[in-house]
Amino acid sequence: MPYLELSLRSTEAEQPRYERALEDVGALSVTLLDADADTPNERAILEPGVGETPIWKSLVLTALFDADTDALALLAALEAFDPGLDWASAGFRKVEDEDWERAWLDQFQPMRFGDRTWIVPWNHELPAEADVPGAAVVRLDPGLAFGSGTHPTTALCLRWLDALAGDGLLRDARMLDFGCGSGILALAALKLGAAAAVGVDNDPQAVLATHDNAQRNAVDAHLAVYLPQDEPVSTYPVVVANILATALDALAEVLAARVAPGGRIALSGILQGQEPELLQRYAAWFDDLQVAVDGDWVRIDGVRR
């Protein structure tokens, strides 16, 4: 069935107020997008941090309502709920119901990261370059969770895992994917030779999606996924945290404690300009800290003392 879509711009500070008001008046869904991104892939909210929602300084909020909702009455209700917000800038349009996940998958093409790592949609034919001995192929169905490999933050981590495998550092290792989203990084590590992986995410939908993707890739016996409060405390020779700079700062001691002595860590979800503070923060526990850049995004990796 069709829907009425409301869209408006918001600042980071005002976003919670807008979202509360939209939900109070009966929004069926509210989606947050980066208003300043240049491309649709960059505009997607990817890899949410554990315990956080990724929010940019400027956002576009879109909310769906039943098709027969009266737009003027809706605006009046929103104005009454929170008159301090700018509801006059809201735009409306009718949108037809469609299989949004199917439309997205139709545009999602196989992608290569590093020498041997491939992310391939579950319904896509395997490329000839990926159908060779030694290729690490992840068949992905992101479903409603975040993380497809299209965003630079994920791509940076996939290339790092591929390089670790090339150096023999993933073989038979245990790894932690902190903020796992769709499970893409844990799945890639297992395909690259890790013996076991643990995923942690604050979103129950991400936990389900990671389980489903692990089964699809026949590695579910080697992957455990937890909500943060259920995560068993352990140390790992390989840890990846693709979340946000603010979360990486707040969780620095937690993440450092998860890395075994001599183990490797990769930190992603960092915008250029945010890395100096994090480099200083993580230098308390890690040596050989390195920075890799992809567009506006940065990955930091190092070795646990």
> Residues annotated as binding site?
154, 179, 201, 242
Burial of 194 (0-12, 13-18, 19+ CB in 10 A): buried
Which residue, 101, 107, 130, 108, is CA-closest to 118?
130
The angle formed by the CA atoms of residues 215, 268 and 151, to the nearest 5 degrees, is 65
Quick one: tokens of 268? 């992603």
DSSP letter string, 2-59: -EEEEEEEEETTTHHHHHHHHHHTT-SEEEEEETT-SSHHHHS--SPPTT-----SEE
Query: Annotated binding residues for S-adenosyl-L-methionine, as ranges?
Result: 154, 179, 201, 242
Reported in sequence order, the residue ranges of 68-195 that DSSP labels E, i.e. its strands, are: 91-95, 111-113, 117-121, 136-140, 174-178
What count of residues does the chain have?
Answer: 305
Quick one: tokens of 63? 């909310």
H or E element in which residue 258 lies: helix 252-258
Contact at 8 Å (CB) between 85 and 18? yes
Which residue, 234, 101, 117, 256, is CA-closest to 175?
234
- Count other Cβ atoms within 10 Å, centred on residue 256: 18
